[in-house]
Structure 1
Amino acid sequence: MNVITFFLVGLTVHVVFFLSIFDIYFTSPLVHGMTPHATPLEPPASRLVLLVADGLRADSLFTPSISRTPYLRHVIEEKGTWGVSHTRVPTESRPGHVALIAGFYEDVSAVAKGWKENPVEFDSVFNESRHTWCWGSPDILPMFAKGATGDHVHTHTYPPEEEDFASTDASKLDTWVFNQVKTFFQSAKANSSLRASLFEDKNIFFLHLLGIDTNGHAHRPMSREYLNNIGLVDSGVAEVVSIIEDFFGHDGKTAYVFTSDHGMTNWGSHGAGHPSETLTPLVVWGAGVNGAKRVTGPQPFSDGFLQDWKLEHLRRVDVSQADIAPLMASLIGVPIPVNSVGVLPLLYLNNSERFKAESMYTNAIQVLEQFKMKMTQKKETTLSFLFTPYQLLTESKQAEFSHKARILIEQEKYEEAISLCQSLISHSLDGLVYYHTYDRFFLGCSVVLGFVGWTSYVILVILKTHTSLNRHPGLLKQNPSSTLAKVCLCLTAVIAVFLLVQSSPVTYYIYCLLPVPVWYSVLKESGTLTDLLRSAPSLPLWKCLAYFVLVALGIELLVVSFFHRAMLTVGLAVLSLWPFPSGLFAKSKFRSLSWCLGCLCLAAFPLMPVVGRESNTHLVTCAGLLTLFTSACYFCSSRHKTPLHPSGTQQFVIQMLHVAVCAYVPSLTHSSLEQKRGLPLFCQIISWTTLASSMLVPLMSSTRLFHRLLSLFLSFTATYLLLSTGSEALFPPVLSWLMFAWINIEQEALHAQSAASRQEVKPLSTFDFSAHVDITKLRQLKLDDIRRSYFFVFFIITAFFGTGNIASINSFDPASIYCFLTVFNPFIMGGLMMWKVIIPFVIVMCTFETIQVVTQLSSRSLFLIVLVISDLMALHFFFLVQDQGSWLDIGTSISHYVIVMSMTIFLMLLSVVTRILTSRRLNLWRTSKMHFP
């Protein structure tokens, strides 16, 4: 198999393994075809007002010392019922609103559309209403109008460019909403048809208030802007309630729900599972809602917040976020959304016991309908003798539950009926999970089988093509390859027929059939394993065993570092000692000390906080100065050894000046934003120009080893500085220092090996990335190459987790992209943050490419070892994926697997990019008469 074929096959295999996790864990939980169910009794409210203060934390509303909400505080203490709405991760606006209004927790597949478009259509309270009028953000409102049947959901949004983090006052977004609502009711007085529609029942008014979230991102939740915005929302709510009550003549038929979609961390982000993000306020009052209940004893919540909030004397009723959808449906008498998994919180209702029992029965039947549909779908696609029903809710038990609950209601045994319905809901929800994960074990086994087969094949390829094993051609002739092929074809046919009979999705065929050709390739290479066994007596077994044990421990250290970043510090401290036992310290003290100090300096970064850092543009400037100093030192050193074309010197000087400008731009940008003057155009032009040219400028430099690496370092560091807000800006200079030390110390190790074998080693200054390499002179793999490959994987992980990562969405600091834009745009923001993560990858990848050139080793052979190490880590994380426990634990375990698989695929693609970055050159300069490289 040639290199290109192997690359394409490897890429395909890893893409399949990567996508498998989405089929196993990220499939949509929704089913369709259910019949909507509504409570048959008269609802207490004719209309409902839903007010969602985007990004409002529970403590920001409930704590008297920081809260500026006299109206809502009065409602909590006198008129309504309050509590905490517990959200699930990801704590983003789209999933939060879906949970509030549709009653289910949206799967992560929606992230592919930026949580703006519907990955699947779903039902919502808005869809079930007679009319819904919405005012607010263009990011949220349209998705509920799109999912609604007919044209009864009316949306009014402001332009997207209004969502500007650099705005002098983002509370204007909420002012716009309140003004639109006032104008709407004023116009309704003169519009008879609109007035008639408003006086119909089952109507909803939705006010989406984004100002708090935008101010939180821009100024942090403890800022004056954030707290003042909360006060503005409070007064706006009071005014809207007054307008609505006056319009409807104080008929007592309006219910009000005030809540938030998610909270926000102290550093102005959200997305993960910190309590500041998952605890959101809920205040409900008006028609059909219980008033404030005084309590004297302890409340059933021991989170310690009640005393801080000075609300221990009032009954607190907590809910899951999805529970709010059935609550709203019950208050105005519309069917509960058919996809809802929420449980009606009865303590909020002020109605008869019969109404509560009927409402809970409706809730139970609505969830049971989903279970039945899910069970039917799975039964139709599974052979009858293989189908195992959910034992706690078989068809007979379903009928028994619903029939008994109906009789209890008719016998006016309401408490027993409610308890039975709650039990039915619990069983139905567990059954939904059971059928949703029905094929998980089967698919997981297929993926693991393919994984093990692929890793085994790569190891055999390494042994066969890159080691000097004793060859025994006769063994290959004894291998019955034709019989093996026939067996594999028969097995393929059996698997295909089995999947066809069960009407399995196309992706199931891929996951189940892929292991067959993979293991066929492994068995065909079994002769290589025999060669290894025959060569065992001549190998340094103790040295081999020691290497493999150390690498295995090293892989475990990397796996643990995904959970505890401080383990990278331990790893770097251990790596700093490498020159001493290897004997390199005695041969080159300066290079060894540079390596040790580089490791120890880099070891400080994993100990720094990932999130919650305060912006400090002075550190960004310091990082720029450090970059200029180290670059000048390396340039002078390399220029002394290798002559350089004058144009090359000019380019280096220009790049140095460019870095100096980029080090100043973040300070200028953040100063301008703090003074409410917006993003300076000069800074924006410099930022986008730097980003656009970062890949092209290095291609104009000399392809001599250090000259090209310096140009790449300066170009990428300039971009990184623009995307930094504090201490993370120091990471690329320190990482680059260590990478240069690694190149030098590997050269010293090569000198030591060559002295023993009496081979000549070329000086580093003579290496040229673009030089033609005679492949016949490339050596075979040695045990030291396993170490080199492990170092590379270790540094890649360090580059990812050193200053933060994208495993947790709330590590994103919006201030990082302010040099480029301040208007909310999730895809551009995500792209910029992704590029910030990639830059350290490129630095490490270029270093690894250099080491391959220096050690005269085939890039394919080293990369195959890296592939094996990465795949072993990915397989480890595949077994660590869990589907029980908190949603944060589940999401974290899945994200780890996705990160490692993405890294493997990404490194395969990035290796091609780095080859171009190091070896290609754009000849824009005139050729001089003198010869310069």
Structure 2
Amino acid sequence: METKRFIILLLLSHLVLFYSIFDVYFTSPINHGMPVYRSTQTPRAKRLVLFVADGLRSDKLFQQLNNTPYLNSIIQNRTSLSGISHTRVPTESRPGHVAIISGFYEDISAVTRGWKENPVEFDSIFNRSTYAFGFGSPDIVPMFKRGQSYEHFYIECYHSDNEEFGNDRAHELDLWVERKFEKFLLNNTLKNELNKDKIIFFFHLLGIDTNGHSYKPWSDVYMKNIHIVDGITQRLENLIENYYKHDQKTTYVFTSDHGMTDWGSHGAGDDTETLTPLLVWGSGIRSSHHTDVHIEQADLCPLMSYFLGLDYSINSVGRLPIDYLLPVDEDLLQAYLQNARQLLEQVHKQYDLLKKRLLFFKPYNLNEEKFFERMEKVEGYMNLYQIRDDIKDFMRHVALASHYYHTYRRFLLSILITIGFLTSICTTLYQLNPMRSLSSSIALLCKIVSILIFILLLIEQSPWTHLLYPTLVCIHTWISANFAMNWIHQKVFNQIKYFSFWLNIFMIGIFLQTYILPFFHRWTMSIGVFLLFIDAIRRWQG
């Protein structure tokens, strides 16, 4: 092959292989067109207040409660739920708010927009509410007003120029939210809207995150901002309670979108980033206070929907944390079952989309007919808690089915991409060491299989990018398959009986592990750095 053509082919091959990660991992889990399910006909509150203290670590709140006297008094003296909300990677502000308010973990396709906006529109509790009122950062609050009809969502944001990193007055952003809301309550033009049922107040408090980046979470500035947020929470609750004449129809949720490392960063999966505080109090919390709550961040969405009696968000993967909503009664079980139906509809949508276009399709066996028969007859259950456990087990299988359908073609694509990478290496070796190669039946079989896979994906109307991978394999096998078979015969089969061959295989395995282990155990990177240091000394002395 001419050098110019070879370079162009190799460049295009690497571009295809580089893009493949988006087809394998960065695909949107969001679907549309599913029916909605009402959480409950007997809501526990008329309104809900959501406080999100951006960048607040759970340990900085719960291990230093003397710094937050008001929140501490709620935990100690009032009926409440307090504990940990577990976030997921990426621990950024936008993904965290999406999980809390919309109930699904970051649409990974949003990486193409720098986690700033979503390429696909999604549902949220704001969309399902009668009215929603948001106050805070221009980077967070307005993003839930995009897309669908959100005329009922009133927002107030400060200017982005006010978000200054480096000064110690970032708490002024949080105080701005308090002042703006106080003025808002005096606005008589929205009095009718404020007296409706199923309304949500959303307060985004950015100061802690800003000071955490600038001064680190162990600083006095960070802790002072937490103390200020504690006071703001108390005063905002007093404003709301006074406005509604203490009617005891308001639920309050205090949480954070993500934590922060000791060096002032977030985005990865360290415990300091993924463990965020959760405190729920007010109307709807019937049992004595729980102080060791552990829920997934996406579970907050169906929880808030249940308190207000909203329709569950159709894209939510959250599960109602029923274990903390004691005592279990028929109404709560019905809400839990509705949650299971809402999750199941997403699986049905995934099934329909795959079944419509795939020639060979193996569905996930959910046994949903038997499950709903048991729910209708309610026979064989000793008490309501057994029904709860059965629904919980079914929801677990629904989550597995959803993952199964979402990643249905991932294995085939991964195989094609791996073979494409290996065959491109063979083409490079063939170009560097041109030699006459005998025809091989195995090489011919590889060419035929790659063509058949291309035809299969074409008939199934797969995305055009999926067709690139069998095309890549086909081109490279056509060029270098015979060479590869002869090379394997000479270099592998003829050398397999020697100890040096297995030693080389072992060293290659160790070498590959040095790339993989740091993703799971960061300390292993130190070994590589130390070995590089030893090698540098050896070279310097030599």
TM-score normalised over the length of structure 1: 0.53
Q: Secondary structure at the match of 1:281?
A: strand
Letter of the aligned partner of 1:74 in structure 2? S
Q: Give how far 1:462 is off.
A: 2.1
Match of 1:494 in 2: 452
Is 1:120 the counterpart of 2:130 in the alignment?
no
Is 1:317 the counterpart of 2:299 in the alignment?
no
Could you tell me how far apart the structure 1 residues matched to 2:124 and 2:320 are? 15
Could you tell me how far apart the structure 2 residues matched to 1:352 and 1:553 are? 53
Aligned positions of 1:500-649 closer than 5 A: 500-523=458-481, 525=483, 552=508, 555-556=511-512, 558-559=514-515, 562=518, 564-573=524-533, 575-576=535-536, 592-593=540-541
Q: Give how far 1:578 is off.
A: 6.1
Is 1:421 the counterpart of 2:391 in the alignment?
yes
Q: Give how far 1:420 is off.
A: 2.1
Q: Of 233, 236, 252, which residue of structure 2 is paired with 1:237?
A: 233
Q: Give how far 1:138 is off.
A: 1.1
Contact in 2 for aligned 1:360/1:421 (Cα 8 Å):
yes
Match of 1:59 in 2: 59
Match of 1:173 in 2: 173
Q: Give how far 1:230 is off.
A: 0.8
Letter of the aligned partner of 1:246 in structure 2? N
Contact in 2 for aligned 1:84/1:282 (Cα 8 Å):
yes
Contact in 1 for aligned 2:49/2:201 (Cα 8 Å):
yes
Q: Secondary structure at the match of 2:316?
A: coil
Q: Give how far 1:479 is off.
A: 6.4
Match of 2:208 in 1: 212
Match of 1:835 in 2: none
Contact in 2 for aligned 1:77/1:292 (Cα 8 Å):
no
Go from structure 1 to structure 2 and tell me whether the alpha carbon gap of 1:178 and 1:406 turns closer, same or farther (over 3 Å shift): farther
Note the alpha carbon deviations across 1:94-134, whole angstroms, 9 max, x for none: 11111101111113321221222112111111111111110
Contact in 2 for aligned 1:47/1:203 (Cα 8 Å):
yes
Match of 1:833 in 2: none
Letter of the aligned partner of 1:363 in structure 2? N
Note the alpha carbon deviations across 1:677-706, whole angstroms, 9 max, x for none: xxxxxxxxxxxxxxxxxxxxxxxxxxxxxx
Match of 2:335 in 1: 359
Go from structure 1 to structure 2 and tell me whether the alpha carbon gap of 1:41 and 1:406 turns closer, same or farther (over 3 Å shift): farther
Q: Secondary structure at the match of 1:568?
A: helix
Q: Secondary structure at the match of 1:250?
A: coil
Could you tell me how far apart the structure 1 residues matched to 2:90 and 2:114 are? 12
Q: Of 393, 403, 406, which residue of structure 2 is paired with 1:436?
A: 406
Aligned positions of 1:333-482 closer than 5 A: 333-349=309-325, 353-383=329-359, 386-391=360-365, 393=366, 397-408=367-378, 414-464=384-434, 475=436
Note the alpha carbon deviations across 1:181-240, whole angstroms, 9 max, x for none: 1110022xx33xx11111111100000000000011101112111111111111111111
Letter of the aligned partner of 1:236 in structure 2? I
Note the alpha carbon deviations across 1:467-519, whole angstroms, 9 max, x for none: xxxx7xxx57x869xxx99995x666533432233222212211122101101
Go from structure 1 to structure 2 and tell me whether the alpha carbon gap of 1:289 and 1:546 turns closer, same or farther (over 3 Å shift): closer
Go from structure 1 to structure 2 and tell me whether the alpha carbon gap of 1:250 and 1:17 turns closer, same or farther (over 3 Å shift): same
Q: Which has the higher contact order (CA 8 A, sep 6+)?
A: 2
Match of 2:218 in 1: 222
Could you tell me how far apart the structure 1 residues matched to 2:369 and 2:59 are? 45
Could you tell me how far apart the structure 2 residues matched to 1:530 and 1:207 are? 64
Q: Secondary structure at the match of 1:316?
A: strand
Q: Secondary structure at the match of 1:258?
A: strand
Contact in 2 for aligned 1:78/1:291 (Cα 8 Å):
no
Contact in 1 for aligned 2:253/2:281 (Cα 8 Å):
yes
Go from structure 1 to structure 2 and tell me whether the alpha carbon gap of 1:545 and 1:499 turns closer, same or farther (over 3 Å shift): closer
Aligned positions of 1:824-903 closer than 5 A: none
Q: Give how far 1:64 is off.
A: 3.3
Could you tell me how far apart the structure 1 residues matched to 2:506 and 2:35 are? 60
Contact in 1 for aligned 2:40/2:306 (Cα 8 Å):
no
Match of 1:252 in 2: 248
Cα RMSD (Å):
3.1
User: Comparing both structures, which one devotes a greater share of its residues to strand?
Assistant: 2
Contact in 1 for aligned 2:90/2:106 (Cα 8 Å):
no
Q: Secondary structure at the match of 1:11?
A: helix
Go from structure 1 to structure 2 and tell me whether the alpha carbon gap of 1:550 and 1:326 turns closer, same or farther (over 3 Å shift): closer
Letter of the aligned partner of 1:515 in structure 2? V
Could you tell me how far apart the structure 1 residues matched to 2:43 and 2:53 are? 26
Go from structure 1 to structure 2 and tell me whether the alpha carbon gap of 1:238 and 1:546 turns closer, same or farther (over 3 Å shift): closer
Could you tell me how far apart the structure 1 residues matched to 2:214 and 2:5 are? 49
Q: Give how far 1:68 is off.
A: 1.6
Q: Give how far 1:434 is off.
A: 1.0
Could you tell me how far apart the structure 2 residues matched to 1:445 and 1:184 are? 58
Letter of the aligned partner of 2:460 in structure 1? Q
Match of 1:271 in 2: 267
Note the alpha carbon deviations across 1:571-606, whole angstroms, 9 max, x for none: 325534766xxxxxxxxxxxx53xx6xxxxxxxxxx
Could you tell me how far apart the structure 1 residues matched to 2:503 and 2:61 are? 58
Go from structure 1 to structure 2 and tell me whether the alpha carbon gap of 1:509 and 1:170 turns closer, same or farther (over 3 Å shift): same
Q: Secondary structure at the match of 2:292?
A: coil
Contact in 1 for aligned 2:25/2:108 (Cα 8 Å):
no
TM-score normalised over the length of structure 2: 0.90
Could you tell me how far apart the structure 2 residues matched to 1:531 and 1:495 are? 26
How many residue pairs match? The answer is 529
Is 1:16 the counterpart of 2:12 in the alignment?
no
Letter of the aligned partner of 2:369 in structure 1? A
Query: How high is the sequence identity, in percent, across the aligned residues?
Result: 38
Could you tell me how far apart the structure 1 residues matched to 2:533 and 2:312 are? 58
Note the alpha carbon deviations across 1:355-399, whole angstroms, 9 max, x for none: 21111011111111111111121222222xx321112x0xxx212
Letter of the aligned partner of 1:356 in structure 2? L
Could you tell me how far apart the structure 1 residues matched to 2:502 and 2:536 are? 19
Letter of the aligned partner of 1:419 in structure 2? D
Letter of the aligned partner of 2:361 in structure 1? F
The gaps in structure 1 that reach 5 residues or longer are 294-313, 465-470, 537-541, 580-591, 597-933
Q: Secondary structure at the match of 1:318?
A: strand
Q: Secondary structure at the match of 1:268?
A: coil
User: Comparing both structures, which one devotes a greater share of its residues to helix?
Assistant: 1
